[in-house]
A = this chain, B = another copy of it.
Amino acid sequence: MTYTPTPQLVLSTSKWFNTPQSFTLSELRGKVVVLFAFQMLCPGCVTRSIPQAIKMHEILSKSEVAVVGIHTVFEHHSVMTEDALEVFIHEYRILFPVAADKPSLESDIPQTMQALNLQGTPSIIVLDRQGHIRLNHFGHVDDLLIGSVIGSLLAEPVTQ
């Protein structure tokens, strides 16, 4: 598989949960990173993606794979607030870091969602150990398939 190297992704976030301090994706260099872009009032996110993310965080090695949620609100902004997200994270027993995407001043689409050119939620984005985007998929990805993508990237050496 060849691919076009992508520029490093910078998350624009307004608030972090489940982490003692905010971090950048470059600090995760060396790990495979799986970003779950979701909205808390998106049924497909809640019934399929969040459970997949929770399972991934539970069963894959935390020293090798970083699972990160990003709450990319592009509709119904007034009710999917950071306060509501905090309750959601607590009630669904989400233990991995979750960032609230930073709202845009000119658009309903928040900044990281724009940077990633996401088409909606749920979306799943996978970065290799160098921080390059290797998968950017709108919709749910079957466990078997996303597992094989992650496994392939885990097998790549950490080159400088």
Q: Which residues of A contact B (CB under 8 A)?
A: 41-43, 46-47, 52, 55-56, 59-60, 76, 78-81, 83-84, 87-88, 91-93, 142-156
Q: Is the interface of A mostly helix, strand, loop or mixed?
A: helix
If A43-B92, A84-B41, A91-B43 touch, whether A148 touches B151 (CB-CB below 8 Å) is yes
Nearest to A55 among chain B residues (CB) is B144
User: Which 6 A/B pairs are nearest by Cβ-Cβ distance?
Assistant: A147-B147, A151-B151, A155-B155, A148-B151, A143-B143, A79-B84
CA distance A3 to B40 in the complex (A): 42
If A79-B81, A87-B76, A155-B156 touch, whether A148 touches B60 (CB-CB below 8 Å) is yes
| Number of copies of chain A assembled together | 4
CA distance A149 to B149 in the complex (A): 10
What B residues does A78 contact at CB under 8 A? 83
CB of B91 within 8 A of CB of A144, answer no
Nearest to A61 among chain B residues (CB) is B148
CA distance A41 to B83 in the complex (A): 12
Extra A-B contacts (12), CB below 8 Å, given A47-B47, A59-B144: A41-B87, A43-B91, A52-B144, A55-B144, A79-B87, A80-B84, A143-B144, A143-B147, A148-B150, A151-B154, A152-B155, A154-B155
Shortest A17–chain B CB gap in Å is 14
CA distance A105 to B52 in the complex (A): 40
What B residues does A56 contact at CB under 8 A? 144
Nearest to A83 among chain B residues (CB) is B79
